[in-house]
Amino acid sequence: MQLSVIILNYNVRHFLELCVLSVQQALKNIDGEIIVVDNASQDDSCAMMQQRFSEIKLIQNTENAGFPKGNNIGVAAARGEYICILNPDTVVAEDTFLKILGKVAQTPPLGAGGLGIIGCKLIDGTGNFLPECKRGVPTPWVAFTKIFGLYKFFPKTKCFNQYYAQHLSENASGEVAILVGAFMVMKREVYLKVGGFDEKCFMYSDDIDLSYMVTKEGLQNYYYHETTVIHYKGESTVRDELYVKRFSDAMQFFYNKHFGGSLVFKWMMKLGAIAFAFFKRSQQKQLVYEVDGYLVYTKEDATMLKIEQQLKKKATQLIDINQNPLFSHSYPTNFKLEIVLDNNSFSFKEIIAFLEKYKNYGFTFKILPKNSGFILGSNSSNDKGQVIRWK
């Protein structure tokens, strides 16, 4: 088997459904499998999987033992030569895995030591690039430049731009040190060689640790920009006091494991991690706008009727996803327009490209998954998204 896609889920039933639908399409021309590991969700994630995706392997854990252990359980059950660690709040394009596997199969191997982990371009639910999909090793100095925002002021200076690997633009592929756990592809033997995710860390620094362990084996991690994946972010995470503790503990775990140092250094890094965790917590805002009207890209009149009945707002139908929404209709100034993209009519690749093209135009976006009774999306990379159901 060529590829095993491991999806670790926790309480994001609707985002999981959308994710699995997209992965199924992306595996159509690949000898692959999907393994969903559920970390004791309290919603109906498992019931949905059993009802809609009964052919997919589902592992139901009896407790939430964290991101590393959940993924390690999935990898242990995998049969593929390559594995993909994938978040449940993601949407992949139909050709994502074909492109990634084509890249990893190239000859000669990438870099002198060979390819370690390959990641790709990630965008949030508004179409904006997520810089954490390519990063440098967060040494004490690099972490300092991040915590105090120095990377923003000196984006082209090597001394300050390493945290987000700013030697590469978002639209340039190349070697990076750290990739994000939302999307990682690697040979299964590489994952096992470094011991997989370290289960002594509950979450947050596990992907940094895994990436760093791979580079210590002499392999090169690689950011590949030629395929784009939506990552809604934060769907499984409530940024409360427990979040602050787990985040600060995770960063302290990474520094203790790889850098050690004096007691003064450890306390400095602990305080920095806590400060950064509180900053991230303050960013989380549930942005639900009062929508004035909807623009629905769908070729199906029956779907349009269902959406209109559910949303109870003015809606305009467009059947061509290439038609510019700015010229499709006349809208008053400050009119809040939300765009619904129907996956029954358009591919995930077309939908992802649409979000990228019309980011920062003031629109919000929702996706209607194929054969589903809900739409979902996120208005910010810092919120938990929104699901509107009608079944």
pLDDT in tens, 41-53: 999 999 999 999 9
Report pLDDT for 243. 53
Which position has the higher pLDDT, 313 or 235? Answer: 313
What's the rounded Cα separation, in Å, for the pair 68 and 37? 12
Report pLDDT for 385. 85
What's the rounded Cα separation, in Å, for the pair 273 and 251? 6
What's the rounded Cα separation, in Å, for the pair 95 and 44? 30
Burial annotation 252-273 (CB, 10 A radius, 16+ → b, else e): bbbbeeeeeeeeeeeebbbebb
Pick the closest to residue 391 from 51, 134, 28 (CA basis). 51
CB 315 within 8 A of CB 293: yes
User: In sequence order, which residues have a C-beta less than 8 Å from that of residue 102 and are 6 or more positions away?
Assistant: none
Q: Average pLDDT of 60-83?
A: 95
Which position has the higher pLDDT, 328 or 67? Answer: 67
Which position has the higher pLDDT, 47 or 380? Answer: 47
pTM value?
0.89
Report pLDDT for 174. 94
Give residue 185's pLDDT band: very low, low, confident or very high (50, 70, 90).
Answer: very high
